């Protein structure tokens, strides 16, 4: 595929400026204070409106994109995301959140199956499949499987959840219920099996397991009493 990436026109938005209006989200670049030294950092949020993006150039503020890959269905998502990033308590947290959200969007754009941003079931499915992907990387051998840490997987999933919430309007609780929640630490896991993709499936599996154990115990105990009674009558 030909890489027709180009530096598009951009509009820089100061994160400290509360009086701004995003007319063309695909052009928006959020400017924040650089947490490591004097200067500014630029988060090219608007580039996420494009399905094909190139690597950022340190000599340019904006990310190169394929202009023909513009997806206007992503505009509301980007508008909301700008607000979310502006409200972060620190520049470092905004940078990390954007980096992780960018990873989720890049994963979506790398899939053969398209996930429309104006289709809630599609984005729920994307979040669920992305969780599967994270769980796979979490449990891989690490030799060639690009294994990630528990805390890293948690951060990636949390960012994906924010993206889904921005695009669909789902609440935190609603978004979290779509797929298995990945905790920050493994000892905080409160699910039956993290390899299950959905909390509803886990709940049903757990209920079935309890029912099976209870039924097996009832049959076992009942069988013992029946056997004892039979031996007693034979005496």
Instruction: Kindly list the domain boundaries of the chain, sorted by start residue.
Output: 6-178
Tokens of 165: 């919430």
Q: Are 103 and 156 in contact (CB under 8 A)?
A: yes
List pLDDT tens digits, range 169-187: 999 999 999 999 999 876 6
* Encoded tokens for 101: 């959200």
Mean pLDDT of the chain: 82
71: confidence class by pLDDT, cuts 50, 70, 90: very high
- Name every residue whose Cβ is closer than 8 Å to that of residue 198 and which is 6 or more positions away in sequence: 128, 178, 179, 180
Dihedral sign for Cα atoms in the order 217, 221, 227, 229: negative
Contact indicator for 85, 163 with CB cutoff of 8 Å: no
In this prediction the pTM is 0.76
Q: For residue 221, what pLDDT is reported?
A: 64
Q: Quick one: 146 exposed, middle or buried, by C-beta within 10 A (0-12, 13-18, 19+)?
A: exposed
φ, ψ dihedrals at 42, nearest 5°: -120, 125
Using 50, 70 and 90 to split pLDDT, how confident is the model at 89?
confident
The pLDDT score that the predictor gives to residue 184 is 83
Is a pLDDT exceeding 90 seen at residue 103? yes
Residues 6+ positions from 224 with CB-CB distance below 8 Å: none
């Amino acid at each position: 595929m030909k890489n027709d990436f180009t530096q598009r026109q951009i509009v820089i938005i100061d994160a400290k400026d509360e009086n701004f209006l995003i007319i063309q989200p695909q052009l928006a670049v959020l400017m924040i204070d650089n947490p490591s030294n004097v200067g500014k950092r630029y988060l090219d949020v608007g580039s996420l409106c494009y399905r094909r993006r190139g690597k950022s150039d340190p000599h340019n503020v904006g990310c190169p994109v394929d202009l023909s890959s513009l997806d206007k269905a992503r505009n509301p998502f980007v508008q909301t995301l700008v607000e979310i990033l502006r409200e972060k308590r620190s520049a470092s947290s905004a940078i990390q959140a954007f980096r992780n959200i960018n990873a989720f969007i890049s994963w979506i754009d790398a899939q053969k199956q398209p996930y429309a941003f104006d289709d809630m079931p599609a984005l729920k499915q994307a979040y669920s499949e992305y969780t599967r992907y994270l769980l796979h990387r979490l449990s891989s051998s690490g030799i060639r499987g690009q294994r990630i840490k528990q805390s890293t997987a948690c951060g990636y999933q949390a960012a994906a959840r924010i993206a889904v919430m921005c695009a669909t309007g789902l609440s935190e609780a609603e978004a979290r219920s779509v797929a298995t929640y990945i905790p920050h630490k493994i000892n905080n896991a409160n699910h039956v099996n993290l390899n299950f993709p959905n909390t509803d499936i886990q709940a049903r599996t757990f209920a079935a397991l309890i029912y099976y154990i209870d039924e097996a115990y009832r049959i076992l105990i009942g069988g013992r009493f029946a056997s004892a009674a039979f031996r007693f009558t034979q005496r």
